[in-house]
Amino acid sequence: PPLVRFEDVAVGDLAAAAIPLGCGGGLRVQQATLLDVSPPDAFHLPDALPAGPVDLLRLTYRPRLVAERARAVLVLATDAGDFTIPVAGNSRWSDAACRHWDVEIIGTGIDGVIRLDATPPPGVAPTAAQVLWEVVERPEGSVSALTEDFQSILQGDEVPDDPATPGAWFFLDVGGLYTFDCTVKPPAGADCPPQNSRLRVQACPCPDDVRVRLTWSVAGGGEAPADLDLHLLHPSAAAFGAPGLDCSPADLDPRWIAGTTALERPAHSGDDATAPGFERVQLPRAEGVDTLAGPYRVAVENRSAVPVMATAQIFVTERLVWTGTRALGPADRWWDVAAVGWHRGELVAAAFDRPVADADLDPWAPLPASSACLPDQPPACAEGFTCRDDDGALVGRCRR
Which residues are CB-contacts of 25 (< 8 A; sequence separation ≥ 6)?
Answer: 53
Q: CA-CA distances (angstroms) from residue 66 to 6, 13, 164, 165, 247?
A: 14, 12, 14, 15, 31
Considering only CA atoms, which of 301, 309, 300 is closest in space to residue 221?
A: 309
pLDDT in tens, the chain (400 residues): 578 999 988 877 899 998 888 666 678 899 999 999 998 889 999 998 888 888 889 999 999 887 788 999 999 999 888 999 999 998 877 766 677 888 988 877 666 789 999 988 877 877 778 888 999 999 888 888 888 775 444 444 444 445 556 888 898 888 788 999 999 888 776 778 888 899 998 886 566 789 999 999 998 778 889 999 999 999 999 999 999 999 999 999 898 988 887 778 899 988 888 899 999 998 988 998 888 989 999 999 999 999 999 999 999 987 889 999 999 999 999 999 999 999 988 899 999 999 999 999 999 999 999 999 999 999 999 999 999 998 777 899 999 9
Considering only CA atoms, which of 13, 191, 193 is closest in space to residue 90?
A: 13
The pLDDT score that the predictor gives to residue 96 is 66
- Dist. CA 146–CA 127, nearest whole Å: 19
Q: Following CA atoms 106, 107, 108, 113 in sequence, which dihedral angle do they give, to the nearest 10 degrees?
A: 100
Q: CA-CA distances (angstroms) from residue 345 to 51, 338, 375, 395?
A: 79, 19, 13, 12
- Dist. CA 191–CA 189, nearest whole Å: 6
Q: What is the amino acid identity at position 250?
A: A
Q: What is the amino acid identity at position 298?
A: V
- Dist. CA 65–CA 125, nearest whole Å: 5
Delineate the domains of the chain, giving CATH numbers in brackets.
4-91 (2.60.40.10), 95-204 (2.60.40.10), 206-363 (2.60.60.30)
Considering only CA atoms, which of 72, 182, 181 is closest in space to residue 129?
A: 182
The pLDDT score that the predictor gives to residue 130 is 84
